[in-house]
């Protein structure tokens, strides 16, 4: 396997720019890390997960559903000009993406999502490149290429044929350790604490067993200001709102991220609202991922990426709520 420096990777990514629409972790003006173009700031593979949901590459905050020109003709959303090549998914992010791939394809296939998703190349990032030196879990798959940091360089591990073919043009030396390095890194990855998983699974069990009373949800709900950040940052949140807007004489049907934390999310035209209390909405936020989706998809759909805990201004992201559930009700 190849072992590449950040500079070598950067050169590699740049060389792909003609064939792909490249998105990689870059550091912006004020230090915020985003999935952006290499022209937006220095490549910043280190630092852990990107604060924004990485799935926004395929399911952005705003999207065109279709457009109707002045002559009344329908035009489907334009397919992307170049396939997307995205670097920077953590193992948890890849789990999230795997789920929303399934979500958007099952039953009816969401053509707008797959417009961007089809043909995309995914590059995962793991190893010793987390925030403040934290070790990021090795995904071991679910992406085309995985970049595993050994603290100095990245071991470049292609997981798919497409990944292998692409990596051939990467100019970097062979690792040459005979797989020893990977072994130790894998061991380190396997030894990562599983506290979060245990807590959330326990909380999921308690919720499904009906052990968490309404009073609890009420109490959490008094702290929610309906800022919608938790939903908007979550890689497995997929809800959207649809509306029509005229633009330059054309009528564009558009969709934007929506949030189940808003009162209007389920309010019907009559005014009737099955989720008219903040308590019901707080309950839904957690219950959906930890109980409803378990029922529907066979697994929880929170992959513990940690974003909702980071963005919630009052500290009631899913991890902290689960911790409290486990402390109080098990």
Ligand X SMILES: Cc1cc2nc3c(=O)[nH]c(=O)nc-3n(C[C@H](O)[C@H](O)[C@H](O)COP(=O)(O)OP(=O)(O)OC[C@H]3O[C@@H](n4cnc5c(N)ncnc54)[C@H](O)[C@@H]3O)c2cc1C
Closer of 224 and 294 to ligand SF4 (Cβ): 224
Closer of 96 and 122 to ligand SF4 (Cβ): 96
Shortest distance, position 270 Cβ to ligand X, whole Å: 7
Token pair, residue 104, equals 């958007």
Residue 269 binds to ligand X (criterion: CB under 6 A): yes
CB-based burial label for 108 (10 Å; 0-12, 13-18, 19+): exposed
Residue 45 binds to another protein (criterion: CB under 8 A): no
Backbone angles phi, psi at 26, to 5 degrees: -130, 155
Q: How many residues bind another protein (CB under 8 A)?
A: 83
Q: Hey, which residues between 188 and 227 contact another protein (CB under 8 A)?
A: 222-223, 225-227
Candidates 8-16, 140-148, 165-173, 283-291; binding stretch for another protein (CB under 8 A)? 283-291
How crowded is residue 117: how many other Cβ atoms within 10 Å of its Cβ?
22
CB 20 within 8 Å of CB 84: yes
Residue 264 binds to ligand X (criterion: CB under 6 A): yes
By CB under 8 A, name the one of 17, 60, 119, 140 that touches another protein.
Answer: 60
Residue 32 binds to another protein (criterion: CB under 8 A): yes
Give helix 318-329 / helix 214-221 axis angle, nearest 10°: 140
DSSP-assigned beta bridge partners for residue 2: 156, 174
Shortest distance, position 105 Cβ to ligand X, whole Å: 24
Length of the chain as a residue count: 330
Token pair, residue 268, equals 């019907």
Closer of 204 and 236 to ligand SF4 (Cβ): 236
Return d(Cα 172, Cα 323) in angstroms, integer: 44
By CB under 8 A, name the one of 18, 30, 132, 168 that touches another protein.
Answer: 30
Task: Tell me which residues touch ligand X (CB under 6 A).
Answer: 264, 267-269
């Amino acid at each position: 396997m190849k072992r590449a420096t950040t500079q070598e990777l950067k050169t590699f990514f740049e060389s792909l720019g003609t064939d792909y629409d490249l998105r990689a972790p870059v550091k912006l003006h004020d230090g915020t890390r985003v999935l952006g173009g290499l022209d937006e700031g220095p490549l910043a593979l280190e630092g852990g997960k990107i604060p924004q949901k990485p799935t926004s590459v395929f399911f952005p905050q705003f999207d065109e559903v279709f457009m109707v020109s002045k002559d009344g003709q329908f035009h489907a959303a334009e397919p992307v000009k170049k396939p997307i090549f995205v670097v920077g998914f953590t193992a948890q992010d890849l789990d999230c993406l795997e789920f929303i791939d399934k979500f958007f394809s099952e039953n009816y296939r969401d053509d707008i999502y797959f417009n961007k998703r089809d043909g995309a190349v995914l590059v995962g990032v793991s190893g010793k490149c987390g925030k403040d030196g934290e070790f990021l879990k090795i995904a071991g798959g679910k992406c085309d290429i995985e970049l595993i940091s050994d603290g100095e360089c990245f071991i470049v591990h292609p997981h798919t044929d497409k990944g292998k073919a692409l990596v051939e043009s990467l100019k970097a030396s062979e690792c040459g350790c005979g797989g020893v390095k990977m072994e130790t890194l894998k061991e380190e990855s396997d030894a990562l604490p599983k506290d979060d998983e245990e807590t959330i699974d326990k909380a999921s069990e308690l919720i499904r067993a009906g052990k968490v009373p309404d009073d609890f949800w009420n109490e959490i709900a008094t702290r929610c200001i309906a800022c919608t950040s938790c939903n908007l940052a979550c890689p497995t949140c997929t809800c959207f709102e649809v509306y029509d807007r005229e633009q330059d004489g054309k009528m564009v049907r558009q969709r934007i991220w929506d949030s189940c934390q808003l009162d209007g999310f389920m309010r019907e035209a009559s005014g009737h609202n099955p989720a008219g209390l903040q308590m019901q909405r707080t309950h839904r936020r957690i219950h959906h991922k930890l109980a409803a989706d378990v029922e529907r998809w066979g697994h929880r759909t929170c992959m513990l990426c940690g974003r909702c805990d980071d963005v919630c201004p009052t500290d009631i992201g899913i991890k902290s709520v689960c911790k409290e559930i486990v402390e109080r009700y098990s």
